[in-house]
Structures are given as structure tokens and as C-alpha cells.
Amino acid sequence: MTNNTAYAELMAYQRQTEALAKVAERLGWDQETMMPRGGAEQRGEEMAAIEGVLHARRTNPQIAQWLADADAVDEVAAAQLYHIDRAYRRAVKVPGDLAEALARLTSVAQGIWAGARAADKVADFLPTLAEVIALKRQEAACLAEGGDLYDALIDDYEPGATAETLGDMFDRMRPRLVALRAAVLECEAPPALQGHFAQEAQLRLARDLASAFGYDWSRGRIDLAVHPFSSGGGDDSRITTRVVESDPFNCIYSTIHEVGHSSYELAIDPDYALTPLGHGVSMGVHESQSRIYENQIGRGRGFTTWMHGQMVERFGALNVDGPEGFYRAVNRVQPGFIRTEADEVHYNLHIMMRFDLERALIRGDLAVNDLEAAWNDRLLADFGVAVDRPAHGMLQDVHWSVGLFGYFPTYTLGNVYAGCLNKAMRAAVPDLDAALARGDTSAATGWLREAVQRHGGLRQPRATIAAACGFEPDEGPLLDYLEAKFRDLYRL
């Protein structure tokens, strides 16, 4: 076998594996948006079966042979082989029955979480969460080979990151965020947006916002789900949103956030379709796209000026004072329960709390039965608010039910990357706010598409951001941006 033949065979094999992984992801989407409730247990069997197929393919010893024989003739081939090698080495560490058990359990656990959240009953979820954590700890032990369990899980979402480096970064960020929060909360809060905003009109606005951000409807769609998410890639990447009729910002910013994720997937070079390069390269880089769409663009003075006009047109007079009052309402800083609804000042403090709690859960330093108390104590200490119901507390997010431990810190890493990208984008694109004030995001999204999105998994996560920015990423630009924005808003 020539080296080129080995590479071609490996890529053909990989292409089928990627197609099957897309199938599994589409089933997950269906489960959250379309599936009748009674189908949950059967869906668990289906997810376990396809996970079994994927695991068998990913651990096929032939892959090792192909990897040994194949030559990296160029940068793209080298990157493909890097990802395949990494995934193979990961897969062979986890026994097939554990992978299937995790797929089956997390598929069912998601429904149990949704039920417990709707009923506001922590006790309904705890036994299942305990099982999920037990299996994730088993998986982590297989992956860590004696190393730190939590690091092994982080590595799935953010290659190259560790709890130590992330924790150090959080420690550097925390004092400036806490100081900014304190200064802001001493000021009088601007008026919040109030009123009743009908679901149908919000969903129409959500569609128009997605269009404004260039979402490709021929390769996507939007639906309602309990927890907004984006799903899929290549030529089919869908988003979900949710609606609270008293708070249109929930739907608006969930939608823009998920459009950021989906747009990244849809913008990747079509030559990488159904290959390891055909995905967002890490969750941190993924979040950098969703967060810059949502915050640096979507919550900026320019874009909110346009959005104010849209809101007035659709919902009539608002209780805020013109575009500037709307901008201030959008960016109102307020301690709250819900991460996804948090303002930019509080958001990363939510993440730091999750990071500490889940690290303790995985390391075995916190028992599942003590989680609710630990959560509520920490929220009170950090935010000064007492959780009023579990759906506003430890039941608010889907992540842990589906086994996503090590994922939360990538949200703040994404914010840090978004801060860097925003700095570079503003330098590269003059008069961006003037275009955004007309609802024209094309210069911003076009820059991100060229600088970041189209490259998919070609470069390492940090290198992807560094190449886009022209400098090594750190937390500085994000903190500078937050301080400048909120000092201006609150006239500090």
C-alpha cells in the first residue's frame, strides 16, 4: 500500500464515521425539539446503538495501521491526521460498553432533567445526576491514565486547556470583574424593558435577527426547545430558541448566540465537509463566535440602535427612552439567577462558580446530595441573591444531565477569545457601528468568516484565534472592553 492509498482509505473511512456522527447529532436535535415524550426510552436504545457503532469504528485497529502508513503531504493532510490520531487515542481508552452506557443514560437523563426542572424538584433529578457523574468519572479515569479526572474531561472540549491554566486565568479576571460589578451596582440602574411581547411576534423577530446576521436558511432552521442550542454542521446546522413573553431579550440573545454557533459551522470550507476539519475546532473557539455575535456585536450601541427600531415597529412604543434608553436596558447590570440571561459583567462569575462546583463533583470533593446547598451558598456569596426555586438554581442548565462536565469553562474562554477578536475586528473594519446601526452585520460577520470560521479545525484552538487577531490571546482585551463599555454606560 502506498502512503497516498493509506491516506485516501483512512479519509474515506473517516467520512462515513463523520456522517454517522452527524446522524447521532440529528437524533439529539430531534429529541429536544420534535420527539414525542413517550419515545424517550426507545430513543435511549437508538442512541446507545449508534454510539456502539461509532465507538467500534473509532477504535478500529485498522486506523492505527492507516495512521502509521499515511503521509502528511500538506498542511491540510497534517491537520486531518492530527485530529484522527487524537480521536483514535482517546477512543481506545474508553471501553465500548461504557461508551454505550453513557449514551443510553444521558439520552434518558435529559428528559428526566427537563421533567425535574418543569416540576422544580431537585430530588427527581439527583439519582440520575449521580449515575451520570459516576459514569463520567469512570470515563475520565480511563482517559486520564492516572492524571487529573477533570482535566481529562476538559480536553474533550478544549484541547490544550487544563483546570490549572483556566483557573489561573479566572483568578486574574475575577478581581477586575468584581470591582466593575461593585462600581456598577452602586449606580442607579437604568429602566428595564417592560411589557408583554407575544410569542409569535418574538419568533418572527428571531427569524429576522437570524437573517440580519446572515444565517443561511437553505441550510438551517429554527425551532423552540427548553434549552437553546445549535446542532449539526456541514450543510445542515439548526438552531433552537426559547420565548419568555415578559422578556424579549431571552429569545433575542439566545437566537443571536446560536446563530453565531451555526454560522461558524456553515462557513467552514466545504472541502472539509465530513472530515475532522469540518467542525468548529474547540468549544472555546465556538463560544468566541456565539459570544461575539451576541455581545460585542448584538449588545453594542450600533446594533441595538437598529434593533430598537425593529422593536418599536413590531411591538409599539416601549417604556425606554429612545435607542440610547434601549441600549441601556439591553445592558442593564443586575445580579440574577440564570446564566444564559446574565449581563456581560456577571456572566463570567456564573461560569467561575460552575467551574468550581463541577470540578469538585468530578474530583469527588463534593457529593451530589450537597450540590444544591453548595450552589445556593455560592450564589448568595458571589451575587447576593438567594435562589428562589431549583429551576433558577442547579436545574437551570441541561449540561450536566447530558454529561457535559468540563464544558462550562469554555464559555468564559470563548468570551476571552471574543474580546481579542473584537479588538482585531474593530481595528480592521472602520465605521463598523454605523453599518450595525443600519442592521448591516455583513462587514463584521464577513471578517469573522474569513479570519476564523472558514478554517474549521485546520489550526489548534489558540492558534486559530492568534492567527485571526495577529496577537496571542489573553483576558486583557475582554476586560478592557467590559470596563470601557460599562464605565461609559454607567458614567463611572
Of residues 147, 54, 52, 143, the one with CA closest to residue 100: 52
Select 55 or 462, whichever has its Cβ closest to a second copy: 55
Question: Side chain identity at 419, as an amino acid letter?
Answer: G
Residue 92, interface with a second copy (CB under 8 A)? no
> What is the rounded distance in angstroms from the CA atom of residue 355 to the CA atom of residue 42?
33
| Window 290 to 319, contacts with a second copy (CB under 8 A) | none
Taking the least distance from each CB to a second copy, the nearer of 230 and 464 is: 230
Q: In this complex, which beta carbon is closest to a second copy, that of residue 22 or of residue 286?
A: 22
Is residue 358 among the annotated active site residues? Answer: no
Residue 42 binds a second copy (CB under 8 A): yes
14 vs 289, beta carbon nearer a second copy? 14
Residue 176 binds a second copy (CB under 8 A)? no
Q: Which of 139, 158, 258, 475 is catalytic?
A: 258
Q: Minimal distance in Å, beta carbon 357 to a second copy?
A: 35
Confirm or reject binding of residue 30 to a second copy (CB under 8 A): yes
The answer to the question of residue 203 lying near a second copy (CB under 8 A) is no
> CB of 163: closest distance to a second copy in angstroms?
36
User: Which residues have a Cβ under 8 Å from the Cβ of 327 and sit 6 or more positions away?
Assistant: 301, 304, 305, 308, 489
Q: Which residues contact 256 (CB under 8 A, 6 or more apart)?
A: 209, 210, 213, 293, 294, 297, 298
Using CB under 8 A, pick the residue from 124, 235, 247, 269 that binds a second copy: 235
Q: Name every residue whose Cβ is closer than 8 Å to that of residue 370 and which is 6 or more positions away in sequence.
A: none
Can you name the residues that pair with 223 across neighbouring β-strands? 240
Nearest to 264 by CA among 241, 281, 240, 250: 281
The least distance separating a second copy from the CB of residue 237, rounded to whole angstroms, comes to 9
What one-character-per-residue DSSP string does 185-246 give?
HTSPPPPPP-S---HHHHHHHHHHHHHHTT--GGG--EEE-SS--EEEETTEEEEEE---TT
For the CB of residue 16, give the shortest distance to a second copy in the complex, in Å.
4
Asked whether position 236 contacts a second copy by CB under 8 A, the answer is yes
Please give the distance of CA 55 from its chain centroid, rounded to a whole number. 24
Task: Report if residue 118 touches a second copy, rule: CB under 8 A.
Answer: no
* Grid coordinates given for 237: 446546522
Instruction: Assess 234 for contact with a second copy (CB under 8 A).
Output: yes
The interface mask with a second copy, positions 249-278, x = CB under 8 A, is ------------------------xx----
Residues 204-223 close enough to bind a second copy by CB under 8 A: 216-221
**Interaction between residue 339 and a second copy (CB under 8 A):** no
Tell me the C-alpha distance between 316 and 327, whole Å. 17
16 near a second copy, judged by CB under 8 A: yes
Tell me whether residue 12 or residue 381 sits nearer to a second copy (CB atom). 12
The owner of cell 460589578 is: 181
As a whole number of angstroms, the distance between CA 27 and CA 219 comes to: 17
Under a CB-based contact definition with an 8 Å cutoff, are residues 282 and 470 in contact?
no
Q: How far is the CB of 216 from a second copy (least distance, A)?
A: 7
Residue linked to cell 411581547: 197
**Least gap, CB of 85 to a second copy (angstroms):** 22
Q: How far is the CB of 207 from a second copy (least distance, A)?
A: 13
Which pairs from 91-97 meet CB under 8 Å and 24+ separation? Answer: 91/55, 91/58, 91/59, 92/59, 93/142, 93/143, 93/145, 94/55, 94/139, 94/142, 94/143, 95/142, 96/52, 96/55, 96/56, 96/59
Q: Which is nearer to a second copy, 45 or 382 (by Cβ)?
A: 45
Shortest CB 287 distance to a second copy, Å: 24
Residue nearer to a second copy on the CB measure, 176 or 219: 219
Number of Cβ within 10 Å of residue 228's Cβ equals 23
Stretch that binds a second copy, among 41-49, 338-346, 364-372, 481-489 (CB under 8 A): 41-49
Instruction: Please say which residue, 30 or 480, places its beta carbon nearer to a second copy.
Output: 30
Q: What does each C-alpha distance from 118 to 107, 245, 298, 354 come to in angstroms? A: 18, 17, 30, 21
Comparison of 105 and 352: residue with beta carbon closer to a second copy: 105
289 and 447 Cβ atoms separated by less than 8 Å: no
Give min distance, CB of 87 to a second copy, in A. 17
**Residues 6, 8, 9, 35: which binds a second copy (CB under 8 A)?**
35
Backbone angle region of 120, left / alpha / beta, with phi > 0 → left and psi within -120 to 50 → alpha? left
CA gap 14, 236 in Å, rounded: 19
# residues contacting a second copy (CB under 8 A): 38
Residues 43-62 vs a second copy: string with x where CB under 8 A? Answer: x-xx-xxx-xx---------
Give 281: exposed, middle or buried? Use CB within 10 Å, 0-12, 13-18, 19+: buried
- With contacts defined by CB under 8 A, name the span among 38-46, 112-120, 200-208, 413-421 that binds a second copy: 38-46
198 part of the interface to a second copy, by CB under 8 A: no
Contact positions toward a second copy, by CB under 8 A? 15-17, 19-20, 22-23, 26-27, 30, 34-39, 41-43, 45-46, 48-50, 52-53, 216-221, 234-236, 238, 273-274
Q: Which residues are catalytic?
A: 258
